[in-house]
Chains A and B, each alone.
Chain A
Amino acid sequence: MNSRTIPLIGFVLLVVLLIAGLKIADKKTELPSPLIGKPAPAFDLPVLASPDKTMSKESLLGKPYLVNFWGSWCVTCRAEHPVVKQLADLNAVYIIGMNFRDERDDAIAWLKRWGNPYDVSLIDADGRLSVDFGVYAAPETFLVDPSGTIVFKHLGQLTWDVVENEILPRVSEMETGS
């Protein structure tokens, strides 16, 4: 091996690393979601429309449901709203709007203004449940199966692509499976 080949090999290795780095750069924004396959955190939270009532995780066992973390302060939630509405119109899955770190009046006004896509909205006023769910930022969407296990998580704005390719197939699988 002469003295020129070593730097050359080094250079080629660097180029390979660069290309590999660029290839995975897109995937890097997908943060790991260790909660998948684990039981969803327990909750028993007041209902937004009538806060004297509560809804718990136990009461939801037996059917799949979607938990969509949102807030009236969240710009991206507004951006994904049409997709959530479109999904709701299919009546394919029960959708819980988890209204977190929000004011109740603001949340109700938001739903009135843009339309309410949720079967029910629950109040997680201080964001404690969002921490239990490992939420980074709103919106975040979790699909929970009939046994109460998280099977899918989507971080950020929900797109129809995700609904069609990730959420709906899983939901229909659960329904044929049970």
Chain B
Amino acid sequence: MKPGNFLVFIMTLVISAAVMAQVAPVPEPLVFETQQQEERFNALTMELRCTVCQNQNLADSDATLAHDLRRKVYEMLMSGKTDDEIKQYMVERYGDFVLYRPPVQSNTYLLWLAPLMMLLAGALILRSSIKKRSALLDKKNLKIDR
């Protein structure tokens, strides 16, 4: 390793440590009564989008809105609301956009079915090209093992 490279390596380490220190998941120490509550909180904040960030969830973001939304999730959770009720609250205010897993509904069918359709289209193309090629082989009177 050249000295220059080594310096870059050290700086990368220092910077990434600084970045990691900044994005501690929940800065305010939250107190949960049960471990299950804590797990639910972590799962929910992973699944809810920080709506003002570029592709970050509530757990990862340090934006003011993310703080407020985490607090709301915490409060609703501690007051005995179910996961669905909490998600419902967020969707009613911020739209489906707040969910990282979009629900299957009429305006998202295309989104959910597109991969399947592409797979199907690929299979059809593959089938037709195999047919064509084997027809070509037959024409040339070449034997192929089947």
Residues of A with Cβ closer than 8 Å to B? 6, 31-35, 38, 101, 126-128, 130-134, 136-137
Contact = CB atoms under 8 A, between A and B. Distances in A.
A126 B67 CA distance: 11
Given A101-B64, A136-B65, A137-B65, A131 B52 contact: no
B9 interface: no
5 contacts: A32-B96, A34-B95, A130-B68, A131-B93, A134-B93
Contacts, number: 39
B123 interface: no
A132 B51 CA distance: 14
B97 A136 contact: no
Contacts of A32: 95-97
Interface residues on B, range: 10 to 19
Interface string B87-100: 00001111111000
B92 A38 contact: yes
Given A32-B95, A34-B95, A101-B64, A136 B72 contact: no
B69 interface: yes
Contacts of A6: 125
Nearest to B75: A128
A136 B52 contact: yes
Given A130-B68, A131-B72, A31 B51 contact: yes
Contact of A34 (B65, B68, B91): B91
Contacts of A133: 93
B51 A136 contact: yes
A137 B69 CA distance: 13
Nearest to A41: B93
A27 to B, nearest CB: 14
B97 A31 contact: yes
B24 to A, nearest CB: 21
B94 A134 contact: yes
Given A31-B51, A101-B64, A127-B64, 15 more contacts: A31-B95, A31-B97, A32-B96, A33-B95, A34-B93, A126-B68, A127-B68, A130-B68, A131-B68, A131-B72, A131-B93, A134-B92, A134-B93, A136-B52, A136-B94
Contacts of B92: 34-35, 38, 134
A117 B76 CA distance: 35
